[in-house]
């Protein structure tokens, strides 16, 4: 009955093979592929990468030592003049006669450091709390969740202000810890909620019905799905973290070390104080903060879009 | 003269830059009062066809070609305002999922009444009184109370009845039903189909029934169009189609319907492969890779839709012989 | 309904109690205790002793905790360390200024945010939509105190459009009724005072509105896009309803549900933004009070009361949002 000519049969095989390629791609490879095709994520990642390179290679990129005060700059410093660009100092001086460009470049390092640390600490503590609550259930769950309720009873920046204000003295670490702790309840609730939803989801029920081991279900089915939400949140949190750190500096609760070159400090202390004398002291760190925050927000949004299984095609 | 004359309708989607032809030159007619079935698997273009007729496809990213003649006016060329005047008045439509098709935050009464307000110029109170009668007519118990209720307070069957009441509120001459029973329990399915049949026959409304379920068509439709990959592959009167299907795809579909009367204990027939195995129509018959009766003529060029002597049409180079009993 | 409200109020009470307890014990556990924190290192032993006795810190901690709770419940937060006045008086004086600023900011955020988000969704993928998205992204990425200085620099220094700071021009003879200067002017028919206060309000309100505005636009846009794709909108179109009916009755009503939640959350969070905004514009409200209470030596009695107040506002606003949900969404039963 089947008298299909050989070349036509090949044509059909070829066509069917092509159409069949669509299926059977694993979730993560698929997500990675969609992430690479997502323009939002790409733009975000590019911005972050650029600043990361500057941060890592700061000593090689920066023309000068960021804490050294230069006589050629200090001699022109008065109450209402701060030297602008000169030969050897393309961004001019900061209020203490230091090379502003070098401070901006080292600022990438310090700012990333604060953001990464605050986000990571917040994430780790939050995941720990949320994971324990989600896995243990019962009264442990209730206590942990009530605890997060208390923390969430204040707007996040206000909580950070409170935490720093309650510390006996501010240091760089009080800022990092305050910004980190603010995010702990968010991560905790996110992971717990996601794990509970996973536990009731059809694919976990199916795995359980098939007799898959509990440990296997948690590590293979529940955690990967819950962690994507946490990773996306962490990316978005980074942007908020450096903005909060800058706000704390502006309120006089930041790092008191005058040598520290960090954008939030540069903007929140010198930037606003000398806004009318030399607005660049505010513009440059503000622009850098906006760009980095934008980069992380874009990457986070892009990841959320790409990792959402609803968008699978 | 037919009530609806669909000529060479085509719909091309553009997603991520690559065009996809969902409906590929579909033609069929609906006579006044006639019930016509559009049958096929999901993705064959039957729902898209109905949305294109109603002008409900999003304008962005879609290209609709061909003609849809209703009362000698081409619906595809009407200005949006003129089309709005006809939708709900001349043509009603009911959808697959009755819960999501009803607005969750508006009381049921207003959802029925607003059609009457729009097309018959009725005032709110008058429209609500009429809505109560309509709900009663589609078999919703205690309609006065239901007017004030919200969709989530109704059962699935009741919601679909409400949608039917909305679609038939202005006594349209054509009703398009897109998988109206798919989301319902089997027992409710039969009730809804009986209701549709009664209402359509009593009012003389023509019906386009879109379904993947041949059982639905069997009890309801005068003529059946079988769609595959965006094209009509077979058209026949109901009795001809069920008695002697000619296209191997139709034949396969019929054989995969579970039946009580024959062959108990035998394995249910299934069509091998899936729509993913299709070849593009210009390269031959899209169904060829899945077809049991495939031959040389099936591949290479488009297989034309040709009239059959019994008044239908067929797109096949090697049809199932007519004497083969089903 | 009543049962839910009372249950939520009890929850609120427990949360606040826990918050106060945490703060109480934290303050007592600071190295050197709160007295050192208050006095700094310059204090002589005699002043220390006097302050310790005056504050009752020589009593056992549980007695202190009991006193503290009793005082909190009766609204007695003690006296401000900075000015010596009762805490409630200090807060009461600053409260109206922040209310005025917050109300103005939310009017701007909602009044601009919802229409802009809706328009962006309707023009999805076109220039207006892209411009709006970029604007909102910058809005949530910009440090708002910097934006405040920027606006101040452009619109009060370079071009003299708005006054740079304060709530009302000095020498303006205005009568204080509610403490909301714009409203007072209207009530007492001192329209020049009202206009002057409004003029002072514009820049701070816009600055404070930045983040809620950006977020309301984004949520409205996403929500409208969701609703436009919904099956019931297709049904409404199939009925042949006129465009305005479809938009108002079917699209907007559904799309605004998630927006209400976000408006509630953002309103509760305004006090955080107010701390920054008020410092930029020298506004003299609760935000300024927070800044003053933490700069230099910390005014813990005031700070404690402010934190409690912020929490109460935040939780009550969220409760109101939840309850309003039951009114506007028939699927939610309280």
Q: What are the angstrom distances between the C-alpha of A188 and each of A131, A141, A152, A159?
A: 7, 11, 11, 16
For residue C136, the model assigns a pLDDT of 95
How large is the angle between the packed helices C2-29 and A156-166, nearest 10 degrees? 30
For residue A1, the model assigns a pLDDT of 34
Is 0.80 topped by the overall pTM?
yes
Q: What is the pLDDT along chain A (313 residues), one digit of tens a residue?
A: 344 455 555 554 554 444 344 334 455 666 777 788 888 899 999 999 999 999 999 999 888 888 888 888 888 777 778 888 888 888 988 888 899 999 999 999 999 999 999 999 999 999 999 888 887 778 998 899 888 988 888 888 999 998 888 776 778 899 999 999 999 999 999 988 888 887 777 778 888 888 888 777 777 777 777 788 888 899 999 999 999 999 999 998 888 888 888 999 999 998 888 888 888 999 999 999 999 999 999 999 888 888 765 554 3
Q: Distance, in angstroms, between C130 CA and closest chain B CA?
A: 17
Distance CA(B170)–CA(C35), nearest Å, equals 81
For residue C203, the model assigns a pLDDT of 93
ipTM: 0.87
Which of B92, B97, B150 is nearest residue C330 as measured by Cβ atoms? B150
Structure tokens of A208? 């359980």
Q: Distance, in angstroms, between C151 CA and closest chain A CA?
A: 12
DSSP label at residue B153: G
Helix, strand, or coil (residue B37): strand
Looking at chain B, the whole-number percentage of residues with pLDDT higher than 70 is 95
Distance CA(B56)–CA(A216), nearest Å, equals 47
Q: Are strands B206-211 and B174-178 parallel, antiparallel or unpaired?
A: parallel
Distance CA(B185)–CA(B189), nearest Å, equals 6
**DSSP secondary structure string, A97-113?**
SBBHHHHHHHHHHHHHH
Interface size between A and B, measured as CB pairs under 8 A: 39
Distance CA(C286)–CA(C90), nearest Å, equals 9
Which residues of C are less than 8 Å from B115 in CB distance?
A: 239-241
Q: Are C51 and C35 in contact (CB under 8 A)?
A: yes
| H helices present in A99-217, as ranges | 100-136, 138-152, 156-166, 172-200, 202-209, 214-216
For residue A258, the model assigns a pLDDT of 84
Which residues of A are less than 8 Å from C22 in CB distance?
A: 150
Which of B276, B280, B294 is nearest residue A20 as measured by Cβ atoms? B276
Q: Say yes or no for a CB contact (<8 Å) between A8 and B293.
A: no
Q: Are C214 and C135 in contact (CB under 8 A)?
A: yes
Three-class SS of chain C = CHHHHHHHHHHHHHHHHHHHHHHHHHHHHCCCHHHHHHHCCCCCHHHHHHHHHHCCCCCCHHHHHHHHHHHHHCCCCCECCCCCCEHHHHHHHHHHHHHHHHHHHHHHHHHHHHHHHHHHHHCCCCHHHHHHHHHHHHHHHCCHHHHHHHHHHHHHHHCCCCCCCCCCCCCCCCCCCCCCHHHHHHHCCCHHHHHHHHHHHHHHHHHHHHHHHHHHHHHHHHHHHHHHCCHHHHHHHHCCCCHHHHHHHHHHHHHHHHHHHHHHHHHHHHHHHHHHHHHHHCCCCHHHHHHHHHCCCCCHHHHHHHHHHHHHHHHHHHHHHHHHHHHHCCCCCC
Residue of chain C nearest B178, judged by CA positions: C235
Three-class SS of A208-272 = HHCCCCHHHHHHHHHHHHHHHHHHHHHHHHHHHHHHHHHHHHHCCCCCCCCCCCCHHHHHHHHHH
**Of residues A105, A64, A101, the one with CA closest to residue A83:** A101
Which of C22, C271, C310 is nearest residue A150 as measured by Cβ atoms? C22
Distance CA(A50)–CA(A57), nearest Å, equals 11
Q: Return the exposure string of C223-253: e unless at least 16 CB atoms fall within 10 Å of the residue's CB, then b.
A: bbbebbebbbbbbbbbbbbeeeebbebbbbb
Q: Does any CB of chain B come closer than 8 Å to the CB of residue C230?
A: yes
Q: Say yes or no for a CB contact (<8 Å) between C237 and B85.
A: no
pLDDT tens digits, one per residue of C198-247:
889 999 999 999 999 999 999 999 999 999 989 999 999 999 999 999 99
State CA A153 to chain mean position distance: 23
For residue B326, the model assigns a pLDDT of 46
Structure tokens of C296? 């230099």
Q: Does any CB of chain B come closer than 8 Å to the CB of residue C333?
A: no
* Chains touching B (3+ CB pairs < 8 Å): A, C
Residue B16 has pLDDT above 70, yes or no: no
Q: What is the pLDDT along chain C (334 residues), one digit of tens a residue?
A: 677 788 888 888 888 888 888 888 877 776 555 666 566 666 677 777 777 777 777 778 888 888 888 888 888 888 887 888 889 999 999 999 999 999 999 999 999 999 999 999 999 888 999 999 999 999 999 999 999 999 988 888 777 778 888 888 877 777 777 878 888 888 887 888 888 888 899 999 999 999 999 999 999 999 999 999 899 999 999 999 999 999 999 999 899 888 988 998 898 889 999 999 999 999 989 999 999 888 767 788 888 889 889 888 888 888 888 888 777 788 776 5
Sheet arrangement for strand B73-74 = B18-30, B4-15, B62-70, B73-74
Q: Distance, in angstroms, between B62 CA and closest chain A CA?
A: 18
């Amino acid at each position: 009955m089947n008298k299909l000519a050989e070349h036509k049969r090949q044509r059909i095989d070829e066509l069917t093979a092509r159409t069949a390629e669509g299926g059977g791609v694993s979730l993560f490879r698929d997500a990675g592929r969609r992430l690479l095709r997502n323009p939002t994520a790409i733009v975000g990642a590019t911005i972050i990468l650029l600043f990361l390179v500057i941060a890592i290679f700061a000593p090689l990129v920066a023309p000068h030592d960021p804490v050294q005060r230069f006589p050629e700059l200090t001699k022109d410093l008065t109450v209402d003049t701060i030297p602008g660009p000169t030969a050897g100092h393309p961004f001019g001086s900061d209020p203490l006669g230091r090379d502003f460009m070098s401070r901006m470049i080292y600022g990438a390092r310090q700012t990333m450091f604060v953001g990464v640390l605050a986000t990571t600490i917040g994430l780790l503590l939050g995941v720990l709390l949320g994971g324990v609550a989600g896995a243990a259930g019962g009264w442990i769950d209730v206590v942990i969740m009530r605890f997060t309720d208390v923390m969430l009873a204040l707007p996040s920046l206000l909580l950070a202000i409170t935490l720093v204000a309650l510390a006996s003295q501010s240091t760089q670490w009080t800022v990092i810890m305050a910004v980190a702790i603010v995010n702990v309840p968010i991560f905790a609730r996110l992971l717990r909620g996601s794990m509970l939803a996973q536990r009731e989801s059809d694919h976990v029920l199916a795995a359980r019905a098939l007799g898959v081991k509990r440990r296997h279900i948690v590590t293979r089915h529940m955690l990967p799905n819950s962690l994507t939400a946490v990773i996306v949140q962490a990316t978005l949190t980074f942007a908020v973290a450096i903005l909060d750190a800058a706000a704390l500096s502006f309120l006089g609760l930041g790092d008191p070390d005058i040598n520290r070159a960090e954008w939030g400090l540069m903007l929140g202390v010198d930037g606003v104080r000398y806004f009318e004398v030399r607005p660049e002291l505010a513009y440059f760190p503000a622009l850098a903060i906006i760009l980095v925050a934008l980069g992380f927000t874009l990457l986070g949004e892009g990841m959320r879009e790409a990792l959402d299984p609803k968008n699978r095609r | 003269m037919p009530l609806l004359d669909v000529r060479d309708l085509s719909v091309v989607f553009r997603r991520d830059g690559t065009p996809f032809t969902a409906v590929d030159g579909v033609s069929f007619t609906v006579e006044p009062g006639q019930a016509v079935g559009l049958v096929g698997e999901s993705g064959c273009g039957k729902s898209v066809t109905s949305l294109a007729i109603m002008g409900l496809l999003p304008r962005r990213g879609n290209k609709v070609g061909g003609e849809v003649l209703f009362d000698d006016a081409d619906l595809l060329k009407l200005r949006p305002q003129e089309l709005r005047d006809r939708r709900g008045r001349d043509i009603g439509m009911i959808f697959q999922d009755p819960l999501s098709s009803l607005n969750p935050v508006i009381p049921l009464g207003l959802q029925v009444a607003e059609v009457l307000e729009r097309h018959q110029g009725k005032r709110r109170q008058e429209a609500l009184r009429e809505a109560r009668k309509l709900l009663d007519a589609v078999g919703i118990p205690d309609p006065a109370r239901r007017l004030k209720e919200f969709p989530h307070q109704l059962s699935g069957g009741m919601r679909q009845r409400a949608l039917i009441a909305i679609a038939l509120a202005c006594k349209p001459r054509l009703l398009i039903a897109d998988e109206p029973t798919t989301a319902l329990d089997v027992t409710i399915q039969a009730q809804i189909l009986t209701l549709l049949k009664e209402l359509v026959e009593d009012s003389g409304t023509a019906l386009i029934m879109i379904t993947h379920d041949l059982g639905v068509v069997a009890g309801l439709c005068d003529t059946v169009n079988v769609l595959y990959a965006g094209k009509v592959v077979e058209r026949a009167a109901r009795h001809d189609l069920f008695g002697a299907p000619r296209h191997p795809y139709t034949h396969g579909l019929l054989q995969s319907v579970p039946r009580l009367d024959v062959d108990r204990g035998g394995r249910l027939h299934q069509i091998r492969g899936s729509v993913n195995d299709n070849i593009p129509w210009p390269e031959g018959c899209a169904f060829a890779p899945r077809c049991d009766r495939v031959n040389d003529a099936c591949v290479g060029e488009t297989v034309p839709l040709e009239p059959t002597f019994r008044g239908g049409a067929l797109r096949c180079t090697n049809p199932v012989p007519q004497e083969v009993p089903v | 309904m009543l049962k839910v409200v009372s249950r939520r109020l009890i929850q609120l009470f427990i949360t606040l109690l826990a918050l106060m307890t945490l703060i109480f014990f934290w303050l007592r556990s600071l190295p050197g205790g709160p007295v050192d924190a208050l006095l700094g290192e310059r204090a002589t032993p005699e002043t220390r002793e006097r302050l310790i006795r005056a504050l009752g810190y020589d009593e056992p901690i549980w007695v202190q905790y009991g006193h503290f709770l009793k005082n909190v419940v009766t609204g007695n937060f003690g006296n401000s360390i900075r000015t010596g006045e009762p805490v409630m008086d200090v807060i009461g004086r600053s409260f109206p200024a922040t209310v005025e600023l917050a109300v103005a900011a939310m009017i701007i955020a909602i009044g601009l945010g919802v229409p802009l988000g809706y328009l962006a969704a309707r023009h999805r993928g076109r220039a207006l939509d892209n411009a709006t998205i970029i604007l909102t992204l910058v809005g949530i990425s910009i440090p708002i105190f910097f934006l405040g200085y920027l606006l101040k620099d452009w619109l009060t220094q370079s071009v003299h459009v708005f006054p740079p700071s304060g709530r009302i021009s000095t020498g303006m003879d205005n009568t204080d009724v509610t403490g909301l200067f714009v409203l007072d002017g209207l009530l007492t028919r001192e329209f020049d005072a009202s206009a002057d206060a409004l003029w002072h309000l514009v820049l701070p309100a816009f600055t404070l509105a930045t983040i809620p505005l950006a977020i309301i636009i984004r949520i409205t846009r996403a929500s409208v896009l969701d609703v436009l794709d919904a099956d019931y909108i297709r049904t409404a179109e199939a009925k042949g309803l006129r465009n305005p009916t479809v938009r108002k009755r079917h699209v907007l009503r559904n799309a605004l549900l998630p927006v209400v939640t976000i408006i509630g959350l953002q309103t509760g969070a305004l006090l955080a933004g107010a701390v920054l905004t008020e410092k930029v514009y020298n506004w003299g409200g609760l935000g300024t009070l927070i800044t003053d209470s933490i700069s230099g030596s910390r005014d813990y009695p005031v700070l404690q009361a402010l934190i409690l107040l912020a929490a109460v506002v935040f939780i009550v606003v969220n409760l109101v949002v939840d309850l309003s949900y039951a009114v506007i969404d028939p699927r939610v039963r309280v």
